[in-house]
Structure 1
Amino acid sequence: MEGVTVKAVQIKEYGKDIEINQEVKVPEISSGKVLVKVHAAGVNPVDWKITEGYMSQGKKLNSPMTLGGDFTGTVTDVGEGVTEYDKGDNVYGSGAVRMGGSGAYAEYLSADAGQISKKPAKANNIEAAALPLVGVSAWDVISNKIDLREGQKILIHGGSGGIGSIAIQVAKYLGAYVATTARKDKADYLKEIGADEIIDYKNERFEDRLHDYDAVFDTVGGDTYKRSFRILKKGGIIVSMLEEPDKELMDKYHVNAMGQFTRINSAILEKLAELFDKGIIKVNVDKVFPLDKAGQALEYQRNNSVKGKVVIEID
């Protein structure tokens, strides 16, 4: 596809408006990577944070940069050393620039073969694009870092969000008792996906109701994170998507704390596809935008209490 140009959503400077570039070269295929025709891309909070420079950590922007990580699409070419995938395979995963990809908000992307997997057979393109980051985060924290067991109790903050909603389903699959914090209007949805106890964080303090919990999964941060230590039993664990471990609180309450930085990998994506196809987990898509409205998609993700995920439909 040398010389062919396609459409992509890019930024040239942090803090500036995104641009719909109509003449982006199709990414070159290199060793260990695959070229994918993108059908849909998932929107995550990290995407709008990148546009505003929150994730730059002083790094200079490689301008112009194509946004987006989560995607689903069809393999059109494979690089040297890639044996797991062939042309025509339907895949999903991450094509984020910060992870070595070329960016998912585009008609074509390149992605590392170790960060994709075959798409869940029973998922449509919108569902598959919504799953990678939230699903891998939820599984890695609940199953690996917390090592949640049957009969244990866990509090999941932000249960109606993308990560929280998958985490609830994973925790129930593993046999745990699940409490979650969310807005009152999300209660029916949270019961539907398996939450045993729902705390309306606007009107209730979760630490007044919950005690002796084995684990907390925090997707909110700030004061919510600090207050969560109070509900843990000695030897319990809290894992946060946003906060670094607070040693003072760890020592005070005799619990463990960890931070989470999610790295998409094929093994967990394969597990998620299996769970999806068996009906054990499902992903709720709050709203779908076309590629030309990517700016509105990012704004919607940032400014609303999203129930599940926001997705950009590309093909």
Structure 2
Amino acid sequence: MKAVRLKEYGDDINKVVGIDQDVEVPELSPGKVLVKVHAAAVNPIDWKITQGYTSQGKDLESPVTLGGDFTGTVADIGECVTEYGKGDDVYGTAIFLAGGSGAYAQYLSTDTKMIAKKPENANNLEAAALPLVGVSALDVITKKIKLQEGQKILIHGGSGGIGSMAIQIAKHLGAYVATTARADKTDYLRELGADKIIDYKNEKFEDKLSDYDAVFDTVGGDTYKRSYQVLKKGGIIVSMLESPDEELMNKYQVNAEGQFTQISTDSLQKLAELYDRGVVTVNVDRAFPMDKAVDAMAYQRDSSVKGKVVIEID
């Protein structure tokens, strides 16, 4: 089978990642399923892996297949698997860091605890785009922030994959949503339901917002530190990228948490329900054929993406 594989770590993605035409189909083990892949999404973690961000200084012992988020059809099941059968359409993650075989391949193997039945109303590109961004937004908004009707939240990076999902979930819960993005994304963000849009290139959000109940940060760096200023006392900031800053927490008398998303069957089922009810949608900014997977990763890394980038495997 064909697979997109990382052979060594390096900054030049074109040199370290390539299409391998002769990779063995993953072997099944108990509790896992073999899936014929239809589409896989690109997340920042995918190209960060190629640069060694998760390697802890270790060299690759052998090539690994990249990719996490996917949708496909169950081709075979391992021992002890009773929840799924051949022919079931599923979605979830198969990232090798969590024990999967990698999603940028014609076939993958992954644990049943990291997949669920595909949303009925989603096509393959949409379903592949959902898992990481949808579960991240759902976890942060409902579990960590515990956003309530009438509260105010600032969501950074509103036009990105996680930000766009977070806006929709927050609006569904009845919150007032402010977001930061480029000016050319205004119409898109209005469609998602954003109440106030701040052009981060030309405006300082901390000068325009105050007394907010929550901030959801998907940007990090200086944006994260400045965000403490907009919170009311007792408010909360959750970041996808940064660890809590105790000095700023004490200064502004707010709470702070980091987010490390772990995809599970339960979270995927809740996400699929929201999708099928029309509560959330996902925008596929661009789809690439499998042979252009490296271009897809570079595009996600270097562009101002509106929603998600997806690779068509089948």
TM-score of the aligned structures, taking structure 2 as reference length = 0.98
Aligned counterparts, 1:22-33, within 5 A: 22-33=21-32
Change (3 A) 1:62 1:34: farther
List structure 1 segments (4+ residues) > 6 angstroms apart after TM superposition. Answer: none
How far 1:80 moved relative to its partner? 1.4
Aligned counterparts, 1:1-315, within 5 A: 6-15=1-10, 16-315=15-314
The equivalent residue for 1:3 is: none
What is the percentage of aligned positions where both structures have the same residue? 74
Query: C-alpha distance in 1, partners of 2:186/2:101?
Result: 38
Kept in 1: contact 2:8–2:59 (CA 8 A) = no
Query: C-alpha distance in 2, partners of 1:63/1:170?
Result: 41
SS at 1:50's partner residue?
A: helix
SS at 2:16's partner residue?
A: coil
SS at 2:22's partner residue?
A: strand
How far 1:132 moved relative to its partner? 0.3
SS at 1:102's partner residue?
A: coil
Q: What is the root-mean-square deviation of aligned Cα atoms in Å?
A: 0.7
Query: C-alpha distance in 2, partners of 1:181/1:130?
Result: 22
Query: C-alpha distance in 2, partners of 1:157/1:215?
Result: 11
Residue type of the partner of 1:266? T
Residues 80-127 of structure 1 deviation map (CA, whole Å, 9 limit, x = unaligned): 121111111000000000011000000000011000000000100000
Query: C-alpha distance in 2, partners of 1:211/1:223?
Result: 18
How far 1:55 moved relative to its partner? 2.1
Query: C-alpha distance in 2, partners of 1:226/1:22?
Result: 46
SS at 2:23's partner residue?
A: strand
SS at 1:204's partner residue?
A: coil
Residues 14-60 of structure 1 deviation map (CA, whole Å, 9 limit, x = unaligned): 11421100010000000111110000000001111111112222244
Kept in 1: contact 2:9–2:59 (CA 8 A) = no
SS at 1:73's partner residue?
A: strand
Query: C-alpha distance in 1, partners of 2:62/2:218?
Result: 31
How far 1:240 moved relative to its partner? 0.3
SS at 1:25's partner residue?
A: coil
Query: C-alpha distance in 2, partners of 1:211/1:132?
Result: 32
Query: C-alpha distance in 2, partners of 1:70/1:129?
Result: 6
Query: C-alpha distance in 2, partners of 1:283/1:177?
Result: 21
Unaligned runs of 5+ in 1: 1-5
Residue type of the partner of 1:193? L
Residue type of the partner of 2:226? R
Query: C-alpha distance in 1, partners of 2:246/2:60?
Result: 34
Query: C-alpha distance in 1, partners of 2:209/2:60?
Result: 44
Query: C-alpha distance in 2, partners of 1:146/1:163?
Result: 15
Query: C-alpha distance in 2, partners of 1:14/1:50?
Result: 8
Residue type of the partner of 1:92? Y
**Number of positions where the alignment pairs a residue of Structure 1 with one of Structure 2:** 310
Residues 266-302 of structure 1 deviation map (CA, whole Å, 9 limit, x = unaligned): 1111011111111110000000000000010011001
Query: C-alpha distance in 2, partners of 1:123/1:259?
Result: 30
Residue type of the partner of 2:60? L
Query: C-alpha distance in 2, partners of 1:302/1:215?
Result: 27
Residue type of the partner of 2:208? R
